[in-house]
Amino acid sequence: MAIEDVHRILVVGSGAMGSQIGAVCALAGYDTTVQDISPEALQRASDQLRTRLDRNVEKGRMSRSDVDAAFDRLAFETDLDAAAADTDLVIEAAVERLDVKREIFARLDKATPPHAILTTNSSTITSSQIADATGRPERVANMHFFNPALVMACVEVVRSPATSDDTFDTVLELARRLGKQPVALRKEIPGFVANRILHALRDEAISLLEQGVASFEDIDVACRTALGHPMGPFELMDLTGIDIAYQAKLARHAVSNDPRDLPSRTVTERYERGDLGRKTGRGFYDYGESS
C-alpha cells in the first residue's frame, strides 16, 4: 500500500503516548480515531489534549484554526472492531506486554480491511514477536514515537524479516508527513537505536551510583553541565517512569538471556516500592504534591 492510500489512522491506547500520537496524526490532516476500552481514559485523554493544545495556541505555537480542525478530525472510541473497520493504518500504543499486544493484533487482523498496515509503538517488543498473530506479517512493523510525541521529532521505523518494502516505505513516509524525522532500522535489534544508546548511558550512571562514586543528583548535574543533556539519566527515568525502565530491561533480558540485562538493584527497589517517578510523586527525586 502506498502513502497516498492512507487516509484514516487508528491509534490503540489512550495513554500519554497514544493520545499524543493521535493528536499528531489529526494535526497532520488525517482522520484519526483513538481507541481505548475505558471511557474514563478516553475522556481524560481528550481533556488533556485540549488543555495542551490550547496552551500551544496561547503561546503562539499553533493557530486556533489548526487546533479546531484537528479536533474535528479526531474521534474517541471504546469499540475496537468498530474503530478498525475502515482504517488504513493502525498505531498500537497499549501496555508493554507481549500477550496483550498479540491479542490486539489478532483482533485487528480480523477487524481491519485487508490492505491496512498494522504498526506497534513499542520500543522493546519487536514486530516479529507479534506479526505471526496476524495473517499479514508483511504489513506489520514498529513505528516508535518518543515521549512527548507532540514535541519529539524522532520516529524509529523498524522492519522485521517479514515486513515488505512497500510497508516499510509507507511507514517511513507517513512519519515524514506527520512532521517527524524517521530513523530507518532495516534490521530488528532489542532497544532499537536511541534507547540502546540511552540504556548504555543509564546503566553506567546506575553503576556509578551503586559503586558509591557519586550521588544521583551529582551524576545528573554532570550530564547536564558537561554533556549538554537537557536532563540527567535519573531525572529522565523519573519523567518517563521507573516502571518503564524496569519493564524495558526485563524485555531485553527475555531476548538476550544475559543476566547483565536484568533490572538493576537500584531500579528494582524503587519499582517494588511503587516509587515510579513523577507519576507517583516520588522516584529518585521527591515531587510531593507538585507531581
| Residue 123 is among the residues annotated as catalytic for this protein | yes
243 in the same domain as 169? no
What is d(CA 92, CA 21) in angstroms, rounded to the nearest whole number? 10
What is d(CA 217, CA 235) in angstroms, rounded to the nearest whole number? 9
135 in the same domain as 52? yes
Please indicate, yes or no, if residue 288 is contained in any of the structural domains: no
Q: Of the given ranges (52-61, 107-116, 239-248, 266-275), which has the lowest mean pLDDT?
A: 239-248
Q: What angle do CA 10, 144, 126 make, to 5 degrees?
A: 100
Q: β-pairing, 154-158 with 140-145?
A: antiparallel
Q: For the chain, how big is the Rg over CA atoms in Å?
A: 19
What is d(CA 191, CA 282) in angstroms, rounded to the nearest whole number? 26
Confidence of residue 247 (pLDDT cuts 50, 70, 90): confident
240 in the same domain as 151? no
| Residue 253 is among the residues annotated as catalytic for this protein | no
CB 35 within 8 A of CB 77: yes
201 in the same domain as 125? no
| Residue 156 is among the residues annotated as catalytic for this protein | yes
218 in the same domain as 126? no
Mean pLDDT of all residues belonging to the chain? 95
Q: Tell me what percent of the residues of the chain surpass a pLDDT of 70.
A: 99
CATH number for 111: 3.40.50.720
Q: Single out the catalytic residue among 14, 195, 235, 264.
A: 195
CB 158 within 8 A of CB 142: yes
| Residue 115 is among the residues annotated as catalytic for this protein | no
Cis peptide bond N-terminal to 148, omega within 30: yes
Q: What is the pLDDT of residue 228?
A: 96
Q: Single out the catalytic residue among 14, 123, 128, 264.
A: 123
247 in the same domain as 170? no
Confidence of residue 289 (pLDDT cuts 50, 70, 90): low
Number of structural domains in the chain: 2
Q: What is the pLDDT of residue 271?
A: 97
Q: What is the pLDDT of residue 48?
A: 96
The cell for 269 is 527497589
Q: Which of 185, 211, 230 is the last residue of a domain?
A: 185
CB 158 within 8 A of CB 127: yes
Q: How far is CA 144 from CA 28, 180, 283, in A?
A: 17, 11, 25
Q: Single out the catalytic residue among 121, 122, 128, 144.
A: 144
What is d(CA 185, CA 183) in angstroms, rounded to the nearest whole number? 6
Backbone angles phi, psi at 53, to 5 degrees: -75, -35
Model confidence over 7-61: pLDDT tens digits? 999 999 999 999 999 999 999 999 999 999 999 999 999 999 999 999 999 999 9
